[in-house]
Every structure is written in C-alpha cells, then in structure tokens.
Amino acid sequence: MSSEICNVCGLPGDLCICGTLTKETQKIRIYVEPKRFGKIMTVIEGIDGRTIDVKSLLKTLKKKLACGGTYKEGKIELQGNHAQKVKQILIHEGFKEDSIEIE
C-alpha cells in the first residue's frame, strides 16, 4: 500500500487538505462584460491556477452551465450571463461563499 505524499503539507494523498485550505482562502470576483457583436461573457478572476486545478474546474463549469469557455490570463471566461449560477457551483465545489463577490 503506497500512497503519494503531498509536497506541500507532507500528509498522504488521501489525507491531504491543501486543496480545501486553498479553496477557502481564495478571493474570487465574478462579473459580466459585453464582448463583440453584443455577446455577453461571464468572467471569474482571483482563482490561483498554481494551487487549484483550473482546467478541471473550467470543465465542470462548462458542463453544468452547458456553455463554452476558456482560461486565459488568469481568468475563466464563460459564454453567456451565468454569474449567479457560477457562484452556486463554486460554493458546491468547496469555495467559501464569503470569498465570492458578484459585481
């Protein structure tokens, strides 16, 4: 029985709480901005891509919201106006409600 040891906290992989602690300390800002041709884009910024698997989070968001999106320049961009739904999904994924701000 060998389990990987976390490089950050030194605990075995199944006991590691680094991801949970990281999610609780994020300061996330969600806002909607207009793009070309009258399209609307929901932007999520403040998620640290070094400690959180942003690609996996983006995939989850796109799947649950049935929309397209991308991660670039440290921001997640989703097609459409999904600010309230994104907040609920992020809370369900383990982020603290107090740390999520919608503008």
Query: What are the chain's domains?
Result: 29-102 (3.30.780.10)
Kindly report, residue by residue over 3-42, the tens digit of the pLDDT: 677 766 667 767 666 666 566 667 899 999 998 898 999 9
What is the tens place of the pLDDT at every residue in 30-83? 999 998 898 999 999 988 877 788 899 999 999 999 999 999 988 999 999 999
pTM of the predicted protein model: 0.76
**In the Cβ-directed half-sphere of 72, how many Cα atoms lie within 13 Å?**
4
Tokens for 103, please give them. 């503008």
